[in-house]
Structure 1
């Protein structure tokens, strides 16, 4: 499992967003409030993806606790961005602890994170994974459920599916084969955030100029609203829309 967040708005330093606020993502790595049976700390690595002024993605990942990485503190103070996806990781038992297993996963303009697990891995995803091109399977960044979920989602995006529909369909297919899957997904192209809730917590905060989604609220600001379970969220700096996911009752 993990704690993750996505941000769209005026450019801020990564330190302002991830390290400095009260109950920041840094603090959630070692003192999360609401893991819902998904571990006790998020110390199996972390990752941060952001968009440069030219729209290209950049990324930093490490297979160590965020609080031990002095190099990232310097990077976080220097880098500013108006679109960020970040996560701290608690690895499921048996999964590798490597930088490649840490979200966000990326391709072209996309950044992706998964908070949760697919029970019965790898058998439970074998039939879905069989749809992937061989080269996609051979180039997975890690042998994890999250990496396969990203490959399946990326395949839909490459084929031209609308991002929100691609996410919705992926959740439906995974739940059909593994009903107890925990699927809090987070996807961004730098202009919008698409997120899901299935078991784990998610909160959203929108101001006049920014929108943030996060596993747990952080900072002194009010205005956080909890996203109901089994929902699809689509947000940009002007609008937040919620709709039900397969198996939900919203």
Structure 2
């Protein structure tokens, strides 16, 4: 349904992260290698990034394919950042809400993306609307499943929940109400990355002394890329990656033997 990527590392031009690699997110918009659902991601794209000294990210989003936007090439060439989240979109419902439906969604310091689809949308989510204050429903950027999932996550973040716990709980709620949903979620606040693998592909690359990248699929053939098992929560900083199995209950107590990696030490 989509491809997305989050990057934490040394400041670099956006193009070095999103365009230059041989199988970059830019190329995945028309030629993904590991996408299980859909073939072309031409229904919008977006990139969010953080500037030094400013905790609130900037965003650039469009409703059309990334390859058709001549301004993106200039942006990617000159804008530099050490924290990025970007996505290319294959819409569940073609034409739904245009640019407003393109990830990343944002609030305060947070950037969010959803790769997947909620089964039975929108009727399957009717009961979950009671979890949100009416004002939050009226604030939805788009009338899409991804925007609604973001509202569920954001409500928990605003209540003080830790990022990984907020993602895990939202996945549990949506999966219980709509079995068969694909819920690969990606969230960053500029200094950490949280993500879920639930029904679609997710990979990460942690380079010693270099960046940490979490993506729907590898952007090159570096053998250090590792696939995240399905039904797993990933939590990453610039130095560590932690993988925790998800059982669908929303809990976050890692069992003995949880996969902990410290690739930069």
Common fold by TM > 0.5: yes
| 1:227 match | 228
Residue by residue over 1:21-79, the C-alpha shift from the partner in whole angstroms, topping out at 9 and shown as x without a partner, is 1011011000011221x211000010000111123210000001000111011011110
Distance in 1, Cα, partners of 2:8 & 2:220: 16
Question: How many angstroms apart in 1 are the aligned matches of 2:160 and 2:3?
Answer: 29
Distance of 1:73 and 1:225 partners within structure 2: 29
**2:159 counterpart of 1:120:** no
Match of 1:50?
Answer: 49
Counterpart in the other structure of 2:60:
60
Runs of 5+ consecutive residues of structure 2 not aligned to the other structure: 250-254, 259-265
User: Post-superposition shift, 1:163?
Assistant: 1.2
Question: 2-side partners of 1:192 and 1:71: how far apart?
Answer: 29
Q: CA deviation at 1:20?
A: 1.1
Pair 1:44–1:97, CA change in 2 (3 A): farther
- Give the corresponding residue for 1:160: 160
CA contact (8 A) 2:43 2:95 kept: no
Question: Could you report, residue by residue, the CA deviation over 1:214-239 in whole angstroms, capped at 9, with x for unpaired residues?
Answer: 11101353310111111000011111
In 2, are the aligned partners of 1:47 and 1:86 still within 8 Å (CA)? yes
Deviation at 1:131, TM superposition (A): 2.2
- Of stretches 79-88 and 158-167 in structure 1, the one that deviates more from structure 2 is 158-167
Q: Stretches of 4+ moved more than 6 A in 1?
A: none
- Residues 91 and 97 of structure 1 are in contact (CA less than 8 Å); yes or no, is this contact kept in structure 2? no
Q: Counterpart of 1:218?
A: 219
TM-score, normalised via structure 2 length: 0.90
Q: Give the structure-1-normalised TM-score.
A: 0.96
Q: Is the 8 A contact 2:188 2:194 kept in 1?
A: yes
Report the equivalent of 2:131.
131
Aligned length: 249
Show the counterpart of 2:40.
Answer: 41
Structure 1, residues 175-210: CA drift from partner, whole Å, max 9, x if none? Answer: 111110100000001111000001110110001232
Is the CA contact (8 Å cut-off) linking 1:45 and 1:97 kept in structure 2?
A: no
Native 8 Å contact 2:171 2:248 kept in 1: no
* 8 Å CA contact 1:21, 1:220 repeated in 2: no
Q: Distance in 2 between matches of 1:221 and 1:97?
A: 37
How far does residue 245 in structure 1 lie from its aligned partner after superposition? 1.0
| Structure 2 equivalent of residue 143 of structure 1 | 143
Bigger mean CA deviation after superposition, 173-182 or 214-223 = 214-223
- State whether residues 95 and 143 of structure 1, in contact with CA within 8 Å, keep that contact through their aligned partners in structure 2: no
CA distance in structure 2 between the partners assigned to 1:161 and 1:205 by the alignment: 26
Q: Which residue of 2 aligns with 1:89?
A: 89
Return the alpha-carbon distance in structure 1 between the equivalents of residues 75 and 12 of structure 2.
13
168-177 or 239-248, which deviates more = 239-248
Shift of 1:132: 1.5
From the superposition, tell whether residues 70 and 82 of structure 1 become closer, same or farther in structure 2 (CA, over 3 Å).
same
In the alignment, structure 1 residue 26 sits paired with structure 2 residue 13: no
Where structure 1 has 5 or more consecutive residues not aligned to the other structure, the ranges are none
Contact 2:43 2:94 (C-alpha < 8 Å) held by counterparts: no
